[in-house]
Amino acid sequence: MTLRTLRFYEDRGLVVPSRQGTTRLYTAGDRALFAAVFKAKQLGFSLAEIEAMLKADEPRSTFDLDLSLERIDAQIVVLEQRHDNTATAILELKRERAKLTAT
């Protein structure tokens, strides 16, 4: 995780580390929150969706994503479409490359 990412999450209000002078101190709860955010990002969710899914009503050491079957199925559709679009783009680029190398 980069400093830029940490500051971005702070700006969004996802995490509010305590401070000791200018040093930010992250708790075990903060680290659990980051782990949940990264898991959701790996699953392809946007930060806005992640914020809505996080069950962060109170300080605690673990965070669970509110993943319903409906949300999971919808995300699978999104990722499959993204996969299809990427595969199509790769094929098109390979065709263009073949044209350029054939001349």
What pLDDT score does 1 carry?
79
CA dist., res. 102 & res. 25, Å (int): 58
Q: Nearest to residue 60, comparing CAs of 29, 35, 30?
A: 29
pLDDT, one tens digit per residue, over 60-88 is 555 777 788 998 999 999 999 999 999 99
pLDDT, one tens digit per residue, over 15-38 is 888 999 999 999 888 888 888 888
What pLDDT score does 64 carry?
74
Give the predicted TM-score (pTM) of the model.
0.69
CA dist., res. 101 & res. 103, Å (int): 6
